[in-house]
Amino acid sequence: MATRHSYATIDELRDYLAGTGYSSGWTSDTDIIRRIVESASRRIDNYVGMQSFGPRTETHYFDIGSGTLRDTPQVLTPSKNTVNIGVSDFYLAAIPLDSWLVSVTSVTSYKQTDRSASETLTEGYNNDYWLEPYNTTPKTRLKLNEDSDKSFHAGQQTLAVAATWGYANDTTPEKTTTGTIATTTETAFGVNDASDLSVAHTILVGSEQMYITGISSNTLTVERGVNGTTATTHSAATSVYTYEYNPIVVQAALDLGKVFFRDRDMGNTLTIGSGSEGVTRSDADASSVLSTLDEFRSVTAYSEVYF
């Protein structure tokens, strides 16, 4: 699924490049600036392990091996012409998730690979599982409650987690729709005031996420039902929210956007000029920007087959 979260908008990048406020006449390269902020955002996602700092709705499936789950990957030991799977005396009924998780919709444990029978697991003290870490988000691990009479069952794709995945799910109320959105394919609608909105904003209308691709006066042109949400109809005066992202990530997107924008003139030369006048090639600058996100790389998870 293509992620439609850009961590900076085209207006924010234009302001950042201009140093103060960009000229209102700077409109001719909207598509170029949009590609730049989208590329910067995907570069950030890739750097932190194919994650997303904005929410998306998906069902993730996990393979479960035979026996009680371990919380560490298997040790593979070469032995002549074969590879043996190592064993451990430490077992724990827990599985690291393959992505940051904000909130769970449902957890289904299928009793075998053919999926002919299943049971639903619920979270809490008197229920079946916990999400860890307990006191912070995002969540990165799902662990069975020791008092649960349910379990993870061996097989391929025998654990299904339907959830809102991502680092956070923060929004700010901005506007309201001025009329109905009468169909699920309508891509243009009005809001009461679009002055604070920009191309490359992801917005939330009801339960549907939309991605702004154009603005004309107070009319938005959008991609419907993005990030795993479902396009639906909306009544007039429905609240329109914009997504907010961690400020460190926003700054990284702006810094990367500046580097990519400069690439249009620099090309691929290692340096331009020499001595104190030399300008470093963009990949070095980009690496420096991405290193500011190292703290997020430690908040990672992985999916494996557990035995």
pLDDT value for 306: 36
pLDDT of 240-299, one tens digit each?
999 999 999 999 999 999 999 887 766 555 555 555 555 555 778 889 999 999 999 876
pLDDT value for 10: 93
What percent of the chain is modeled with pLDDT above 70?
82
**CB-CB contact of 302 with 50 (8 Å):** no
pLDDT value for 276: 54
Predicted confidence (pLDDT) at residue 178 exceeds the cutoff of 90: yes
Q: Write the CA distances from 184 to 115, 117, 229, 237, 258, integer angstroms.
A: 33, 35, 12, 17, 36
Predicted confidence (pLDDT) at residue 165 exceeds the cutoff of 70: yes
Predicted confidence (pLDDT) at residue 1 exceeds the cutoff of 80: no
Per-domain boundaries in the chain: 56-165
Predicted confidence (pLDDT) at residue 68 exceeds the cutoff of 80: no
Q: What is the spatial distance between Cα 209 and Cα 204, in angstroms, rounded to a whole number? A: 5
pLDDT value for 93: 80
**CB-CB contact of 307 with 95 (8 Å):** no
pLDDT of 190-210, one tens digit each?
999 998 999 999 999 999 999
Of 1-10, 103-112, 259-268, the range with the lowest mean pLDDT is: 259-268
pLDDT value for 71: 45
Q: What's the whole-model pTM score? A: 0.84
pLDDT value for 79: 57
Give the HSE-up count for residue 185: Cα atoms under 13 Å, Cβ half-sphere.
0
Q: What is the spatial distance between Cα 6 and Cα 174, in angstroms, rounded to a whole number? A: 17
Rounded (5°) CA angle 56-224-1:
40
pLDDT value for 272: 53
Model confidence band, residue 82 (pLDDT cutoffs 50, 70, 90): low
pLDDT value for 304: 38
pLDDT value for 64: 83
- Report the pLDDT averaged over residues 219-230: 97
Look at residues 20, 16, 52 and name the one whose alpha carbon lies nearest to residue 254: 16
Model confidence band, residue 153 (pLDDT cutoffs 50, 70, 90): confident
Tell me which of 21 and 117 has the higher pLDDT.
Answer: 117
Three-state SS string over the chain comes to CCCCCCCCCHHHHHHHHHCCCCCCCCCCCHHHHHHHHHHHHHHHHHHCCCCCCCCEEEEEEEEECCCCCCCCCCCEEEECCEEEECCCCCCCCEEEEEEEEEEEEEEEEECCCCCCCEEEECECCCCCEEEECCCCCCEEEEEECCCCCCCCCCEEEEEEEEEEECCCCEEEEEEEECCCECCCCCCEEEECCCCCCCCCCEEEECCEEEEEEEEECCEEEEECCCCCCCCCCECCCCEEEEEECCHHHHHHHHHHHHHHHHHHHHCCCCEECCHHHCEECHHHHHHHHHHCCHHHHCCCCCCCCCC
